Amino acid sequence: MRNAAPIGVFDSGVGGLSVLRAIHAALPDEALLYCADSCYAPYGERDDAFIAARTLGIGRWLASRHVKAIVVACNTATAHTVSMLRERLQMPIIGVEPGIKPAALQSRTRVAGVLATASTLQSARFNALLAQYGGDCRFVCQAGHGLVDAIEAGDIGSPVVMQRLSACLQPILDAGADTLVLGCTHYPFLLDAVRMITADRLHIIDTGDAIARQLVRRLTDLQLLIDAGPAAAHAELTLAPAPLRLVTTGDAPQLTRIAWQLLGVDAAAEHVEIASEPIYFDAPA
């Protein structure tokens, strides 16, 4: 029975749909429950306690819907709270983090850019990742101010977005980067815009497929895959045969529209209320 349970996927908003696409491609028979916390997006400029309270609240809500695993499809939430979620919820929890390791392995100029939220870039977890895997590669880190808001509104190519994105990418190009890490799950939806602005000069690293592979490994190890047969390697995300449920703390018709615009998915989203879980950090000694 547990194998037939859905996989829960969440993000501050619609960005995690880029991860949902990769998960569906790897596991087309699995039921998916996607939760967008769009009422509270963006997380990227919020403080740690706020992000933790939202993330834990959503994690508990997904657990109460009997998901068999949770994918935190948000770099910002992962950076601040994935370990707290793992301590509190007894199920596989997969986080996402910027692809520093592949960038350091692949860059020929030894300069790579990272585009992520301000909160991810400031986090201890991200800085530990740079220290552990950055090696001799120099990383030029840029916060994508205003980009998440635009994508939440379905804007992935207006002049305003192009201008904001250019401002973020120029210092990366000026530094001689040949590689760009997309360190926020919203940004893969700006791929065409990034390619246009950079004249396709940067090798782009998006970790969506790697997250999906990690999820497949975890569910396989735990014998939690649905019994419907082996995963198809590259199924298209169209009208899914397996159930897909989209919920949002924000505007449901807006999520329905964006899922159609960004993924071509035709599913009516539902509005849900999800309470934050208050977090009490230990006071410094």
Would you list which residues are annotated within the binding site for substrate? 11-12, 43-44, 75-76, 185-186
Q: How far is the CB of 145 from ligand DGL (least distance, A)?
A: 10
189-209 CB burial, b ≥16 within 10 A, e <16: bbeebbeebbeeebbbbbbbe
Q: Which of positions 75-104 make contact with ligand DGL (CB under 6 A)?
A: 75-76
Binning the chain into helix, strand and coil, the percentages to the nearest 5 are 45, 15, 40
Our CA dihedral for 144, 149, 150, 153, rounded to 10 degrees, sits at 160
Instruction: Choose the stretch contacting ligand DGL; rule: CB under 6 A; options: 52-60, 62-70, 182-190, 191-199.
Output: 182-190
Q: Which of 7, 8, 10, 12 binds ligand DGL (CB under 6 A)?
A: 12
- 211 contributes a contact to ligand DGL by CB under 6 A: no
Find the residue with minimal CB distance to ligand DGL. 44
Nearer to ligand DGL, 28 or 38 (CB): 38
Name the active-site residue from 35, 74, 137, 168: 74
Q: Report the alpha-carbon distance of residue 246 to residue 256 in Å, rounded.
A: 8
Q: Looking at residue 30, what DSSP letter applies?
A: S
Q: How far is the CB of 199 from ligand DGL (least distance, A)?
A: 26
184 catalytic residue (yes or no): yes
* Ordered strands of the 138-143 beta sheet: 138-143, 111-116, 179-182, 203-205
Q: Report the alpha-carbon distance of residue 76 to residue 149 in Å, rounded.
A: 15
Instruction: Choose the stretch contacting ligand DGL; rule: CB under 6 A; options: 26-34, 35-43, 82-90, 268-276.
Output: 35-43
Q: Report the alpha-carbon distance of residue 122 to residue 70 in Å, rounded.
A: 24
Instruction: Choose the stretch contacting ligand DGL; rule: CB under 6 A; options: 39-47, 126-134, 256-264, 265-273.
Output: 39-47
Q: Looking at residue 196, what DSSP letter applies?
A: H
Q: How many CB atoms lie within 10 A of CB 282?
A: 5
- 164 contributes a contact to ligand DGL by CB under 6 A: no
74 catalytic residue (yes or no): yes
Q: How far is the CB of 124 from ligand DGL (least distance, A)?
A: 16
Nearer to ligand DGL, 33 or 51 (CB): 51
Q: Report the alpha-carbon distance of residue 221 to residue 215 in Å, rounded.
A: 10
Q: Which of 6, 8, 44, 57 binds ligand DGL (CB under 6 A)?
A: 44
Q: Report the alpha-carbon distance of residue 15 to residue 120 in Å, rounded.
A: 15
How far, CA to CA in Å, does 79 sit from each of 1, 34, 37? 32, 20, 17
Nearer to ligand DGL, 77 or 240 (CB): 77
Q: How far is the CB of 77 from ligand DGL (least distance, A)?
A: 7
Instruction: Choose the stretch contacting ligand DGL; rule: CB under 6 A; options: 7-15, 84-92, 125-133, 254-262.
Output: 7-15
Positions annotated as catalytic residues are 74, 184
Residues forming the site for ligand DGL (CB under 6 A): 11-13, 15, 41-44, 74-76, 117, 120, 148, 184-186
